[in-house]
Structure 1
Amino acid sequence: MGRKPYRKVVVGGTFDRLHLGHKALLRKAFDVGRYVYIGLTSDEMIKDKPYAEKILPYWRRLECLLKFIEINGYSNYRVIKINTAIGFADSMKDLEAIVVSEETYKGAVLVNRAREEKGLPPLKVVTIKVIKSKVGPKISSSLIRAGLIDPFGNPLTRKKNETGKRL
């Protein structure tokens, strides 16, 4: 790819059970930004998410994120633990863009509102489409945690016991 349009971009999330949607979001961030800041939600921040008790701990989510970055040969990034939806995006002057999905677009609006309140310029919003699942409108970590789909959006069939009844 030629020159990347932004010097510094931000992307954030829980990145639990790294799935195709997460990977598309991260790829887009690395495609458009020369330096990528990744806000990774802390364990404290995820307590109210669906199936929160099944969300992998921060250190494990970080490990999977770093593995994905390494496998793809990405460089020029920094992962920062965040404790709020805004994270650090309202305090870094030289950020230029935020990468979100259609579903998380409202987060970019909140970030830009917070930046405006601090006298910082708004970020350009780069949006990717939601990746469809074979059992619903999108691939989501919640559906994976619920045991309904795999990280590729394929439906999971419940295991059967010896009598043929679903467990």
Structure 2
Amino acid sequence: MEMIAAVAGTFNILHDGHKALLDRAFEVGDRVMIGLTSDRMASQGRNASVSFDVRKKELEQYLSSRDNYTIFEIDDIYGPKEIMDNVDILVVSEETLSNGEKVNEERASRGIKPLQMSVVPLVISDDG
């Protein structure tokens, strides 16, 4: 059976931590669903964000050697039900684990089995 992994984020200026999340998703999933925050959602974050289209293009460039993924826009931490209901495992960082737990709470409220979690340790970049 095909294992579907999901990972999500703003991916604002793709860095080593983002790459670690993405790489883990491809390690654990046969197919990877990548939720990319909308401009509206990204603007609510800590840092000013570049546009959705620019962030998507950066992701596609990083993933250019792969074809087993789909990038979709998200407006909240739960993602579209028609996609997320088919996911088996959620890849999160130590920093975003609480969001993964909220996703599982929401799934439980709808009678859907919880997602497995793959937690990626935080990565310290060269610039700290």
Partner of 1:108: 100
Is 1:22 the counterpart of 2:18? The answer is yes
Query: What TM-score do the two structures reach when normalised by structure 2?
Result: 0.92
Q: Distance in 1 between matches of 2:62 and 2:96?
A: 21
Partner of 1:154: 127
Question: What's the secondary structure of 2:77's corresponding residue?
Answer: coil
Letter in 1 for 2:52: Y
Structure with more helix by fraction: 2
Identify unmatched segments of 5+ residues in structure 1. Answer: 134-152, 156-167
One of 116, 121, 126 as aligned partner of 1:124:
116
- For residues 10-159 of structure 1, the aligned pairs below 5 Å read 10-52=6-48, 55-70=49-64, 73-88=65-80, 92-133=84-125, 153-154=126-127
- What is the deviation of 1:113? 0.6
Q: Distance in 2 between matches of 1:51 and 1:93?
A: 30
Q: Is the 8 A contact 1:7 1:33 kept in 2?
A: yes
List per-residue Cα deviations over 1:40-84 (Å, max 9, x = no partner): 0000112222232xx1100000000000000xx222110010001
Percent sequence identity over matched residues? 35
Displaced runs of 4 or more, over 6 A: none
Q: Distance in 1 between matches of 2:2 and 2:124?
A: 28
Higher relative contact order (CA 8 A, sep 6+): 2
- What is the deviation of 1:90? 7.9
Question: What's the secondary structure of 1:75's corresponding residue?
Answer: coil
State the aligned residue count: 128
Q: Distance in 2 between matches of 1:121 and 1:83?
A: 23
Question: What's the secondary structure of 1:113's corresponding residue?
Answer: helix
Root-mean-square deviation (Å) = 1.8
Instruction: Work out which of the two has the higher radius of gyration on C-alpha atoms and give 1 or 2.
Output: 1
Query: What TM-score do the two structures reach when normalised by structure 1?
Result: 0.71
Identify unmatched segments of 5+ residues in structure 2. Answer: none
